[in-house]
């Protein structure tokens, strides 16, 4: 019995606006507007709820399905009730300046400590300067200086008295002290001295030598006295400096008494301030002089007291919950932080205040969301992330240090403990490749969050879609949609899903459609978006990108591309293919031809022979050979030589959706029966002759319809599709209208016999109990042709055998 074509109602599943319980999207209560992904949400809750090593999350699914929005919403909801992580600060390491210390502080304390230390520096300047300008300090230092001067004067006075007893005077000259003999209270000159007797001169020289020995002894003691006096003054300075800052430091230590690490740091600060108190004095007290000119130091560099600052690497609001951070550029330095530099006197220098936090610091104690592809594309970023997760600490290193490109001395900040849950987003193939190629991946990302591509269509999902549209409208400030417009969006979603029983979860496409529909409604001056605005948005988007499909139809109409849509041909059929360019898919017919002759059972796929056919297409052709060999002339060897080709195909051919069309062409050539060219065919076939579902069925039907329409008429034309693809039909309105008027037909085919009957108008024929097909049927003609090939080949072999035998006989 011939297969009936589908009714127009089977070609499209409408969404009845009357079933939507609202007038416009303004009536809907919108919370988050997210599309439900129950299985994914359950995985997310498990992943963020389990606190063990390696239980990070990888959300896999197509881009645009709302993975980020859904994950962020779920994570933020969880994070809001979690504890706020601590603040982290870097401070100067007084034992090793190149290894800054990390301080862990309660939330909010980092900024408070920074303010306190900034205030401390100002207070130290005032207190120390005031102290060293005080009368007490002057009095005490003056007393020490006068004591030194008195001791020196007393020593020299004793020498003067001793010299006076020996008629010698102690004179002070620009070059130092000297001794000279006296006569009558006056020093003797050289001539007068030489006029004395030899005994007198000898006595004077002996007295002067003894006095010089005493004077040298006193002069040798003076530097020691000076050193001791300086030490006393320095001790006084330290005592006074310690006294000046004691109250300031005690106040801070008392404030942070419950934070031992901070108290230890403050004690080190106190010791360092006392050691370097001069740095807090006015410049003229600490700057060196050259020829009486003050020389400034560190003009462009950081001031001395910079070492007492606090670098708050990460601060938190104590009421904010755990952080949720999205790393939009997960480069190495963006993840682990960086150490900045400043130019000074032609060189680069840095200090602990120039350490900057990375995304891992910001998310520490919370959640870090990162895109897998972006991460993998950044040099060393993936390896760095794995290493830090395994070590459970954040170590700030530059790529130059890691790769040993530079050997200059740099900072080595103390590592910070890492406690973060990584949520990675990526396509499915990235997840599976990482599982396959990186053994560490499965140890670090143990929770897979697999997002659905489609949603089951029904009243519940219709309401979900309506709420999503309402949320997009309110978020972007668009015109509200009436229920007919919402119904049209739902219908288009089923078309995008290629299934009238499913809706796409690619919400980016739906969001784009909502915004574009709003534009056309606004252009038309309507206050509410209607179904006609949605349809115009759909049509306009296709029109913007369909240049290639239009060009192909034009060339087919002009006869450049040879496609026949009328009449009938032996061994020739219209196959249907789908092309996808830039996200736009369209169907177009291709002529498939088959030629047969006597041979050795070869079925030649010309596409494969010239390496234009992909492996799946080649598999489909080999299945045809199995079908022919398993159905016909079972008692005879397959003596067929056949060739199959896509005519005017200049690119690669892949997929098995044309295998049924190729089989029809082959059967037509074997049976010598013409195939109606007003019909086109799609569907794959197995070795049992069953026609199997294919993809892009809507685009394929519409592609052939458009070619026929471009030639002026679609009357009497149609398409054969697999019966299992009927549930995927969501055809355009013009195609449905042509089917309703009986001008165009869509035939659901379950097996090859049903298809060949429609294409040839002849019964396929079923093998009877005697093993023979009915006379005149397509299968009987095919089998008769194959038997004829086999018998002819046997006769040729027999004749060749006799010829060879006759050539070898004696005369």
Mind listing the pLDDT tens digit for each residue in 348-381? 788 888 899 999 999 999 999 999 999 999 999 9
User: The tokens 């840095």 sit on which residue?
Assistant: 350
User: Which residue's entry shows tokens 């979603």?
Assistant: 493
Alpha helix ranges (H) inside 695-751: 697-710, 733-740
Q: pLDDT confidence of 795, banded at 50, 70, 90?
A: confident
Structure confidence at residue 192 (pLDDT): 66
Of the listed ranges 140-149, 313-322, 725-734, the least confidently predicted one is 140-149
Which residues sit opposite 327 in a β-bridge? Answer: 370
Please check whether residue 746 is in contact with residue 704, taking contact to mean a CB–CB distance below 8 angstroms: no
Q: Is 811's pLDDT higher than 50?
A: no
Choosing from 67, 109, 114, 700, which is the catalytic residue?
700
Which of 484, 487, 479, 480 lies closest to 462 in space, CA to CA?
Answer: 487
Among 344-348, 526-530, 580-584, 638-642, the minimum mean pLDDT is found in 344-348
Is the predicted pLDDT of residue 321 greater than 70, yes or no? yes
The answer for 710, left when phi > 0, alpha when psi is -120 to 50, beta otherwise, is alpha
pLDDT of residue 648: 84
**Gap between the terminal Cα atoms of the chain:** 65
Give mean pLDDT, residues 122-130.
Answer: 84
Q: Please state the rounded mean pLDDT for residues 731-755.
A: 95
Give per-residue pLDDT as tens, 379-402.
999 999 999 999 999 998 887 766
Mean pLDDT, to the nearest integer, of 40-55? Answer: 91
* Full DSSP string of 106-137: -TTHHHHHHHHHHHHHHHHHHHHHHHHTSHHH
Region 119-130 average pLDDT: 85
The pLDDT, as a whole number, for residue 164 is: 66
- φ, ψ at 49 (rounded to 5°): -90, -25
pTM, two decimal places: 0.79
- pLDDT of residue 182 exceeding 70, the answer is no
* Domain covering 14-30+454-545 in this structure, CATH number: 1.10.8.60
Q: What pLDDT band is residue 283 in, cutting at 50, 70 and 90?
A: low
In angstroms, the CA 129 to CA 581 distance is 77
* pLDDT mean across residues, the chain: 85
Q: Are strands 101-105 and 87-91 parallel, antiparallel or unpaired?
A: antiparallel
- The CA–CA distances, whole Å, from 691 to 316, 658, 700, 751, 758 equal 63, 11, 16, 5, 14
Give the pLDDT band (50/70/90) at residue 105.
Answer: very high
Q: What pLDDT does residue 478 have?
A: 94
The highest-level CATH class for domain 80-85+316-450 is alpha beta
> Is the model's pLDDT at 297 over the cut of 70?
no
Q: What is the pLDDT of residue 287?
A: 47
Contact predicate 797/702, CB 8 Å: no
pLDDT > 90: what percent of the chain? 48
Domain 550-769 sits in CATH at 3.30.230.10
Angle between helix 198-255 and helix 260-275 axes, rounded to 10 deg: 160
3-state per-residue secondary structure call for 497-510: CCCCCEEECCHHHH
Q: Is the pLDDT of residue 295 over 60?
A: no
Contacts for 145-149: CB closer than 8 Å, 24+ residues apart: 145/229, 145/233, 147/229, 148/225, 148/226, 148/229
Q: Which residue has the higher pLDDT, 611 or 324?
A: 324
Domain ranges of the chain: 14-30+454-545, 80-85+316-450, 126-290, 550-769
Q: Contact, 439 vs 479, CB < 8 A?
A: no
Question: Is residue 708 within 8 Å of 565, Cβ to Cβ?
Answer: yes
Give dist(CA 579, CA 596) in Å, integer: 30
As a whole number of angstroms, the distance between CA 54 and CA 430 comes to: 19
Whether residue 700 lies in the annotated active site = yes
Burial 413-440 (b: 16+ CB within 10 A, else e): bbebebebbbbbbbeeebbeebeeeeee
Say yes or no to pLDDT of 807 above 60. Answer: no
- Whether residue 57 is predicted with pLDDT greater than 90 in this model: the reply is yes
Rg of the chain on CA atoms, in Å: 49
pLDDT tops 80 at residue 409: no
User: Which H/E stretch holds residue 379?
Assistant: none
In the numeric block, which tokens belong to residue 680? 């086109």
Alpha helices (runs of H) in 63-108, residue ranges in sequence order = 67-80
Which token pair is 134? 């005080």
**One of 505, 657, 668, 684 is an active-site residue; which one?**
657
Say which residues have a Cβ less than 8 Å from residue 444's Cβ, sequence separation at least 6. 54, 56, 386, 389, 390, 422
DSSP, res 714: -
Distance (Å, rounded) from C-alpha 583 to C-alpha 541? 11
pLDDT at 442 over 90: yes
Residue 288 pLDDT level (bands cut at 50, 70, 90):
very low
pLDDT at 301 over 60: no
SS3 content of the chain, % helix, strand, coil (to 5): 50, 20, 30
Question: Using an 8 Å Cβ cutoff, are 774 and 766 in contact?
Answer: yes
Phi (first) and psi of residue 664, to 5 degrees: -60, -40
Q: In the beta sheet, which residues pair with residue 481?
A: 529
Inform me whether the pLDDT recorded for 29 exceeds 60.
yes
Q: pLDDT tens-digit profile of 140-151? A: 777 877 776 777
| Amino acid 753: pLDDT | 94
For 541-558, what is the mean pLDDT?
91
| pLDDT tens by residue, 565-615 | 999 999 999 999 998 888 889 999 999 999 999 988 888 877 777 777 778
So what's the pLDDT on residue 170? 66
pLDDT for residue 704: 95
């Amino acid at each position: 019995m011939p297969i009936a074509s589908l009714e127009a109602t089977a070609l499209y599943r409408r969404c009845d606006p009357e079933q939507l319980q609202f007038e416009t999207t303004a009536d809907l209560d919108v919370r988050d507007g997210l599309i439900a992904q129950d299985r994914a949400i359950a995985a997310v809750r498990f992943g963020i709820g389990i606190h063990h090593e390696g239980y990070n999350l990888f959300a896999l699914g197509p881009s645009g399905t709302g993975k980020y929005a859904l994950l962020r919403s779920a994570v933020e909801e969880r994070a809001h009730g979690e504890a706020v992580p601590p603040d982290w600060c870097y401070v100067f390491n007084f034992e090793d300046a190149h290894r800054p210390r990390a301080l862990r502080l309660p939330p909010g304390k980092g900024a408070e400590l920074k303010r306190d230390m900034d205030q401390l520096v100002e207070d130290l300047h005032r207190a120390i300067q005031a102290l060293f300008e005080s009368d007490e300090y002057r009095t005490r230092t003056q007393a020490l200086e006068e004591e030194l001067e008195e001791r020196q004067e007393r020593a020299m006075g004793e020498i003067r008295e001793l010299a006076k007893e020996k008629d010698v005077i102690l004179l002070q000259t620009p070059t130092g002290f000297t001794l000279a003999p006296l006569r009558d209270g006056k020093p003797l000159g050289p001539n007068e001295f030489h006029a004395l007797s030899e005994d007198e001169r000898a006595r004077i020289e002996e007295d002067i030598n003894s006095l010089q020995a005493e004077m040298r002894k006193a002069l040798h003691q003076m530097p020691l006295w000076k050193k001791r006096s300086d030490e006393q003054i320095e001790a006084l300075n330290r005592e006074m400096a310690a006294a000046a800052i004691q109250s300031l430091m005690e106040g801070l230590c008392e404030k942070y008494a419950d934070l031992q690490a901070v108290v230890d740091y403050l004690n080190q600060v106190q010791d360092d301030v006392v050691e370097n108190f001069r740095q807090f004095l006015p410049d003229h007290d600490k700057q060196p002089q050259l020829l009486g000119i003050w020389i400034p130091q560190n003009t462009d560099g950081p001031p001395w007291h910079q070492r007492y600052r606090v670098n708050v690497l990460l601060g938190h609001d104590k009421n904010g919950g755990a952080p949720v951070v999205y790393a939009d550029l997960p480069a190495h330095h963006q993840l682990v932080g960086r150490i900045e530099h400043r130019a000074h006197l032609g060189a680069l220098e840095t200090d602990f205040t120039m350490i900057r936090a990375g995304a891992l610091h910001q998310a520490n104690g919370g959640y870090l969301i990162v895109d897998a592809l972006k991460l993998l594309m950044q040099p060393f970023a993936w390896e760095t992330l794995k290493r830090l997760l395994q070590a459970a600490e954040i170590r700030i290193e530059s790529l130059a240090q890691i790769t040993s490109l530079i050997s200059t001395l740099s900072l080595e900040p103390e590592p910070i403990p890492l406690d973060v849950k990584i949520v990675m987003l990526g396509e499915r193939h990235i997840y599976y490749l990482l599982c396959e190629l990186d053994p560490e991946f499965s140890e670090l990302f143990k929770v897979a969050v697999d997002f659905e591509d489609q949603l089951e269509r029904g009243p519940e999902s219709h309401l979900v879609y309506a709420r999503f549209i309402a949320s997009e409208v309110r978020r972007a400030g668009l015109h509200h949609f009436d229920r007919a417009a919402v119904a049209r969006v739902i219908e288009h979603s089923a078309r995008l899903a290629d299934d009238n029983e499913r809706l796409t979860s690619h919400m980016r496409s739906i969001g784009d459609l909502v915004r574009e529909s709003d534009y056309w409604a606004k252009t038309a001056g309507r206050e509410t978006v209607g179904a006609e605005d949605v349809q115009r948005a759909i049509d306009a988007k296709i029109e913007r990108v369909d240049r290639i499909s239009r060009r192909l139809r034009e060339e087919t109409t002009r006869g450049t591309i040879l496609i026949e849509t009328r009449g009938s041909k032996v061994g020739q059929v219209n196959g249907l293919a789908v092309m996808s360019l830039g996200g736009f898919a369209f169907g177009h017919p291709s002529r498939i031809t088959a030629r047969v002759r006597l041979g050795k059972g070869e079925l030649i796929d010309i596409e494969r022979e010239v390496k234009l056919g992909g492996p799946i297409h080649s598999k489909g052709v080999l299945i045809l050979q199995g079908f022919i060999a398993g159905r016909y002339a079972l008692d005879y060897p397959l003596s067929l030589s056949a060739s199959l080709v896509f005519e005017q195909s200049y690119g690669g051919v892949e997929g098995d959706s044309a295998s049924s069309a190729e089989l029809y062409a082959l059967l037509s050539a074997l049976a010598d029966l013409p195939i109606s060219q007003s019909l086109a065919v799609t569907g794959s076939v197995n070795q049992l002759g069953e026609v199997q579902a294919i993809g892009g069925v809507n685009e394929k039907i519409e592609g052939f319809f458009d070619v026929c329409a471009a030639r002026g008429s679609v009357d009497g034309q149609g398409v054969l599709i697999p019966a299992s693809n009927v549930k995927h039909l969501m055809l355009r309105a013009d195609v449905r209208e042509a089917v309703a008027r009986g001008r165009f037909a869509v035939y659901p085919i379950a097996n090859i016999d049903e298809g060949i009957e429609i294409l040839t108008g002849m019964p396929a024929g079923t093998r009877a109990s005697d093993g023979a097909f009915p006379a005149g049927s397509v299968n009987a003609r095919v089998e008769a042709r194959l038997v004829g090939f086999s018998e002819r080949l046997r006769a040729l072999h027999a004749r060749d055998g006799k010829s060879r035998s006759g050539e070898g006989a004696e005369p």
